[in-house]
Amino acid sequence: MPRKQDDVYGDHISHRFNDELTELKSRFLEMGGMVETQIERAIQSLVDGDSQVADEVRANDRTVDRMEMDLDEEAILIIARRQPAARDLRLVISVIKMVADLERVGDEAKKIAKMAIKLIEEGQAPRGYVEIRHIASHVQGMLHDALDAFARLDSEQALRIMKADKQVDEEYQAAARALLTFMMEDTRNISRCMSVMWVLRALERVGDHACNIAENVIFMVKGEDVRHTSMEEAERVVGG
């Protein structure tokens, strides 16, 4: 008989333990949603040339930082109070690690917003924005799917995200080459192209963090560590 996802963490004898784990999951997803919004708005500020939105993104990073600290504290208290084991332990440990990734994604959003303000002030015709839009849409999808994989304990989806990360790396390399050509064509493009390059780099890092989250989801579900292993090994773990 199929069970709802929360039954996986919600059928302890101690109802308070159930509530604590449910709360931890829920607040992690809340932070994930916040960080997704931050990336989305940072890109929007850059593409629309809206420095007010960029300022808001930079200010909201403090909320993301606060969420990270609160979630870490909650996870530490669960360990101290409950000494979780097996899948409960894997959930708590994974959340502690994934929260760090989410916070770093928040930092990347802040960096993009900062570059957006710089590019708006320089006021030149946009170059490299097509690549930014393309890679942004790709890594936003990865982050979204990684959070979904966490919520649904879906290790197969997590594996797909790990595979998608390779594609992002290739797209980043291609975009960097294109920008290099712009810079070589006219040295006056260098400052602007460097800012665009930083944005691309930030987005590429977001892809890496989504990939880290996916690896942690596989650990949560399967109990095996697939970091620093080959894709074949990860496939074996998820398929087995």
Partner 1 sequence: MNTTVTAGTAGVSERQTATAPQPAREDTAVREGVTVGMPFADDPKFRLRNVEVFYGVDRAIKNISLDIARNEVIAFIGPSGCGKSTFLRCLNRMNDSIDICRVKGSLQLDDLDLYDPKRDVVELRARVGMVFQKPNPFPKSIYDNVAYGPRIHGLANRKSDLDDIVENSLRKAGLWNEVKDRLDAVATGMSGGQQQRLCIARAIAVSPEVVLMDEPCSALDPIATARVEELIAELSESYTIVIVTHSMQQAARVSHRTAYFHLGHLVEVNQTDKVFTAPEHSLTESYITGRFG
Binding site for partner 1 (CB under 8 A): 2-6, 8, 11-14, 17, 22-23, 26, 29-34, 36-37, 40, 82-90, 144, 147-148, 150-155, 221-224, 240
Cβ-based nearer residue to partner 1, 88 or 171: 88
Rounded Cα–Cα distance for residues 93 and 220 (Å): 9
Cβ-based nearer residue to partner 1, 92 or 197: 92
Cβ-based nearer residue to partner 1, 37 or 51: 37
Q: At what angle do helices 231-239 and 155-185 cross, to 10 degrees?
A: 160
The residue type of 87 is R
Cβ atoms within 10 Å of 186's Cβ, excluding its own: 9
The residue among 127, 105, 102 whose CA lies nearest residue 204 is 105
Cβ-based nearer residue to partner 1, 4 or 228: 4
Cβ-based nearer residue to partner 1, 148 or 169: 148
Min dist. Cβ of residue 108 to partner 1 (A): 16
Min dist. Cβ of residue 43 to partner 1 (A): 13
Min dist. Cβ of residue 55 to partner 1 (A): 18
Min dist. Cβ of residue 100 to partner 1 (A): 18
The residue among 106, 168, 186 whose CA lies nearest residue 131 is 168
Min dist. Cβ of residue 132 to partner 1 (A): 20
- 141, with CB counted inside 10 A (0-12, 13-18, 19+), is middle
Cβ-based nearer residue to partner 1, 72 or 148: 148
Rounded Cα–Cα distance for residues 89 and 152 (Å): 18
Residues 6+ apart with CB under 8 A from 23: 74
Cα–Cα distances in angstroms (integers) from residue 233 to residues 166, 216, 227, 237, in the given order = 16, 15, 10, 6
Min dist. Cβ of residue 200 to partner 1 (A): 23
Which residue has 């440990």 as its token pair? 93
